[in-house]
Amino acid sequence: MASSLEALRRWVDETAALTRPAQVHWCDGSDAEYRGLVEAMLTSGDLLELNQATHPGCYLHRSHPSDVARVEHLTFVCTRDEVAAGPNNHWMAPATAHAKMDALFDGCMQGRTMYVIPYCMGPIDSPLARCGVEITDSPYVVANMRAMTRMGAAAQARIEREGRFVRGLHSTGELDPERRFIMHFPEELTIKSYGSGYGGNALLGKKCHALRIASWQARDEGWLAEHMLIVGIQNPQGKTHYIAAAFPSACGKTNLAMLIPPEGYRRDGWKVWTIGDDICWMRPGSDGRLYAINPEAGFFGVAPGTSQDSNPNALATIAHDTIFTNVALTADNQPWWEGLPGTPAIDWQGRSYDAANGPAAHPNARFTVSAKQCPTWSPKAEDAQGVPISAIVFGGRRPSLLPLVMEANDWTHGVLMGAAMGSETTAAATGAVGVLRRDSMAMKPFCGYHYGDYFSHWLSFDGNGAQLPKIFHVNWFRKDAQGRFLWPGYGENLRVLEWMIDRIEGRAVGRESPVGTVPADGELRTDGLDLPAGTLDMLLDIDRAGWQAELAAIGDYLQSFGARLPPRLRAEQQRVAQALEDTPARTRHAIAS
């Protein structure tokens, strides 16, 4: 149904005149519409039916083998002033970028259907939610957007009421990596994406809107758009603390968001509630606390490694009505990936499985599913006002140095911890895997403006009656000299979250060190865990010489943001570096060198 909003109608007409589709379809988000799309994709081969006896409503999509991940080198922020995009983004002048993209879009939808997808990021009636419209020629994108956003008639009605929306134009084009660009025009609330059908490049509500454009809007409007999961931890007394955690792509956000408490905790009555697994929008409430919503309505999760051990809730979530992308198949047509029992018969490219060809499932194979199917999905996820955040957690894959957990002294120190975040790269983006890179607040690929300004924005929340959450840093990925993980991770991470809650509620005293406060002896519950003697000491050890080098590296990294680096952050790095110098070389656990 065409829109009553003149600006929307005009943009759709102009886009159709440029791309010249055979027909235009306005998406209403209905079940009948979804069924029709699936039928058409089964006929065209865009979708393959999976074993409906074991996986009802599940389908497989195989992408082009060169189109399997986000392409950061082809992703641009196009601001009038180049400096505004920052050294953390690739930049192109808006006029040049529009001309380049419009040439690619010229006639690109001939013979195809152009879909108009009105969507809302966040609960449909939430003042924190924001709307957009994606125009695409990919029915796979429509089907995914239906799971990932509140898509269709209700979103269109809100857009027509508000008169304001983010414009996203997408075409899969020829899937030629030489003709592939993901362009963002934050000043125009516009996205143009061409040449990729892969999630992060093509589902424009997610990374493009909810992070790159939204981070820009958030800076202007006084809120935060972050690459964070949101999880509720309910203690045996029935009190729930909500925690937002930023980890880089493919570092376990989905696992933490759906954590199953260890046996003893379950017996005691602990419960975990999932609010979101990838994106968090937060703003100060009238009581000074930060309130958060998950702008998404579904999960676009990494399949490999998802198993009964790592994430049984995710497995239950994706047992039906799920779209799988680039997974392998068993002989009886069930989806399969590394980490699951059984054996693959067909690999992600549709070939007979042969170990010589590499993993059976692509390492960045994904599932797309409505969050409502998650057994731990919280009713609060639909709350228009959002949930109050008690703690913000930063973390990455750090095989050495970073302790299992540490707490920042205050907000400024916490912002430094977030800015200093580093992690080994993963398969979620193209490029080398396992290389350490700084990824401030896990937003390196997603912050839509200059990181220096972004750090200032973070610092600006401190003051004026703010009741800010405590900030922590965790590292589930610390290894011993033989390269084995020291910490069991997954459900056992609740032990670390419990310590955080004890700190928030004033029950744990912790042991201070210049780089942060770690759990004091006996504060981290290890009952029921088979940790070899000395492991916990290693996990909580602060190596002074290593930290001195780390602080110097953080200082160099911060300097790379030049004049836009907030002096307060520079001063904080110097304060911590000095405190390390001033501390005696040996304080048990806290300083050992």
Kindly list the catalytic residues.
251
Q: In whole angstroms, how close is the CB of 201 to Mn ion at the nearest point?
A: 13
Q: Which does 347 bind (CB under 5 to 8 A by kind): Mn ion, ligand OXD, none?
A: none
439 vs 498, beta carbon nearer ligand OXD: 439
Do 323 and 395 touch, CB atoms closer than 8 A? no
**Contact pattern from residue 417 through residue 456 relative to ligand OXD, giving x for each residue in contact according to CB under 6 A and a dash for the rest:** -----------x----------------------------
Q: Which does 149 bind (CB under 5 to 8 A by kind): Mn ion, ligand OXD, none?
A: none
88 vs 249, beta carbon nearer Mn ion: 249
Using the rule CB under 5 A, give the single segment among 179-187, 258-266, 277-285, 366-374 that binds Mn ion. 277-285
Q: In whole angstroms, how close is the CB of 273 to ligand OXD at the nearest point?
A: 20
Angle ∠(169,229,414) on CA atoms, nearest 5 = 110
215 vs 583, beta carbon nearer ligand OXD: 215
Residue ranges in 224-283 that form contacts with ligand OXD under rule CB under 6 A: 249, 278
* Owner of token pair 């220096």: 452
Angle ∠(181,186,192) on CA atoms, nearest 5 = 30
Which structure tokens are listed for 483? Answer: 């390269």
- 200 sits in which H/E element: helix 199-202
278 vs 572, beta carbon nearer Mn ion: 278
Angle ∠(515,521,522) on CA atoms, nearest 5 = 130
- 500 sits in which H/E element: helix 494-504
Q: How far apart are CA 501 and CA 189, in angstroms?
A: 39
Q: Which does 282 bind (CB under 5 to 8 A by kind): Mn ion, ligand OXD, none?
A: none
Q: In whole angstroms, how close is the CB of 446 to ligand OXD at the nearest point?
A: 8
Q: In whole angstroms, how close is the CB of 43 to ligand OXD at the nearest point?
A: 29
207 vs 511, beta carbon nearer ligand OXD: 207
Q: How far apart are CA 580 and CA 593, in angstroms?
A: 11
Q: Which does 70 bind (CB under 5 to 8 A by kind): Mn ion, ligand OXD, none?
A: ligand OXD
Strand pairing report for 224-226 and 280-284: antiparallel
Q: How far apart are CA 580 and CA 411, in angstroms?
A: 19
Q: How many residues bind ligand OXD (CB under 6 A)?
A: 6
Q: How far apart are CA 561 and CA 456, in angstroms?
A: 12
C-alpha dihedral sign at 436, 439, 442, 446: negative
Q: How far apart are CA 340 and CA 349, in angstroms?
A: 18
Report which residue's Cβ sits closest to ligand OXD: 249
* 550-to-331, 417, 556 alpha-carbon distances in Å: 50, 12, 10
Residue ranges in 20-79 that form contacts with ligand OXD under rule CB under 6 A: 70
Q: In whole angstroms, how close is the CB of 227 to Mn ion at the nearest point?
A: 6
252 vs 386, beta carbon nearer ligand OXD: 252
Which structure tokens are listed for 26? Answer: 């306005």
Q: Does 249 bind Mn ion (CB under 5 A)?
A: yes
Burial class (CB in 10 A: 0-12, 13-18, 19+), 340: buried
Using the rule CB under 5 A, give the single segment among 70-78, 119-127, 272-280, 540-548 that binds Mn ion. 272-280
Strand pairing report for 59-61 and 323-325: parallel
Q: Which does 200 bind (CB under 5 to 8 A by kind): ligand OXD, Mn ion, none?
A: ligand OXD
| Tally of CB atoms within 10 A around 549 | 12
Q: Which does 196 bind (CB under 5 to 8 A by kind): ligand OXD, Mn ion, none?
A: none
Q: Which does 300 bind (CB under 5 to 8 A by kind): ligand OXD, Mn ion, none?
A: ligand OXD
Which structure tokens are listed for 92? Answer: 């192109």
Q: In whole angstroms, how close is the CB of 70 to ligand OXD at the nearest point?
A: 5
249 vs 326, beta carbon nearer ligand OXD: 249
Q: How far apart are CA 131 and CA 143, in angstroms?
A: 18
276 vs 386, beta carbon nearer Mn ion: 276
Q: In whole angstroms, how close is the CB of 445 to Mn ion at the nearest point?
A: 9
Residue ranges in 214-233 that form contacts with Mn ion under rule CB under 5 A: none
Q: In whole angstroms, how close is the CB of 379 to Mn ion at the nearest point?
A: 24
Strand pairing report for 228-234 and 240-246: antiparallel
Q: Which residues on adjacent β-strands are paired with residue 167?
A: 133, 190
C-alpha dihedral sign at 493, 494, 495, 501: positive
Residue ranges in 187-216 that form contacts with ligand OXD under rule CB under 6 A: 200
123 vs 248, beta carbon nearer ligand OXD: 248
Q: How far apart are CA 141 and CA 36, in angstroms?
A: 14
Q: Which does 180 bind (CB under 5 to 8 A by kind): ligand OXD, Mn ion, none?
A: none
Using the rule CB under 5 A, give the single segment among 1-9, 15-23, 241-249, 305-313 that binds Mn ion. 241-249
**Phi, psi of 329, rounded to the nearest 5 degrees:** -130, 145
Rule CB under 6 A: which residues touch ligand OXD? 70, 200, 249, 278, 300, 428
Rule CB under 5 A: which residues touch Mn ion? 249, 278
